[in-house]
Copies of this chain bind each other. A is one copy, B any other.
Amino acid sequence: MKKHYLLAPGPTPVSPETLLAMATPIIHHRSPQFAEVVAECRVGLKYLFQTKQEVLILASTGTGAMEGAITNTLSPGDTALVVRGGKFGERWGEICAAYGVNFEAIDVEWGRAVQVADVAAKLKANPAIKAVCIQAHETSTGVNHPVKELAELTKSLPGTLLLVDAISALGAFELPMDAWGIDIMVAGSQKAMMLPPGLAFACLSEKAWEFTKTATCNKYYFNFSKELKNIQKNTGAYTSAVSLVMGLRDVLRYFKEATLEKIFAEHQLMSKATKAAVKALGLELFSQEGASDALTAVRAPAGVDGQDVVKLLRDKYGIMIAGGQAEAKGKIFRIAHMGYIGNFDIVMIIAALEVVLNELGYKAPYGAGVKAAEEVLFGGA
Which chain A residues have a beta carbon within 8 Å of chain B's beta carbons? 4, 6, 8, 10-14, 19-20, 22-29, 31-33, 59-64, 67, 94-95, 98-100, 188, 190, 196-198, 217-222, 238-244, 314-315, 320
Contacts and interface: CB of A to CB of B under 8 A. Distances in A.
A22 B197 CA distance: 12
A31 B241 CA distance: 25
A352 to B, nearest CB: 16
Contact of A63 (B31, B33, B221): B221
A94 B219 CA distance: 10
A188 B239 contact: yes
B196 A26 contact: yes
Contact of A218 (B4, B33, B218): B218
B8 A197 contact: no
B23 A19 contact: yes
A320 B28 contact: yes
B14 A221 contact: no
Contacts of A220: 63, 67, 94-95, 98-99
A23 B25 contact: no
Most-contacted residue by chain B among A10, A13, A217, A221 (CB, 10 A):
A221
A336 to B, nearest CB: 11
B25 A14 contact: yes
Contact of A61 (B26, B190, B239): B239
Given A98-B218, A99-B218, A241 B25 contact: no
A265 B236 CA distance: 34
Nearest to A14: B26
A265 to B, nearest CB: 25
A95 to B, nearest CB: 5
6 contacts: A59-B59, A62-B238, A67-B221, A94-B220, A98-B219, A188-B239
A164 to B, nearest CB: 18
Contact of A242 (B99, B197, B221, B239): B197
A282 to B, nearest CB: 28
Contact of A197 (B61, B95, B240, B320): B240
A59 B196 CA distance: 12
B23 A23 contact: yes
B10 A239 contact: yes
Contacts of A4: 25, 27, 33
B243 A198 contact: yes
B23 A198 contact: no
A61 B320 contact: no
The 8 closest A-B pairs by CB, nearest first: A198-B241, A196-B243, A98-B220, A19-B23, A23-B23, A197-B239, A64-B221, A61-B238
Given A61-B239, A222-B221, A22 B25 contact: no
Contacts of A238: 61-63
A63 B29 CA distance: 15
Contacts of A6: 25-28
Given A25-B4, A29-B197, A190 B11 contact: no
Contacts of A98: 218-220
Given A64-B221, A188-B239, A220-B94, A13 B26 contact: yes
Nearest to A222: B221
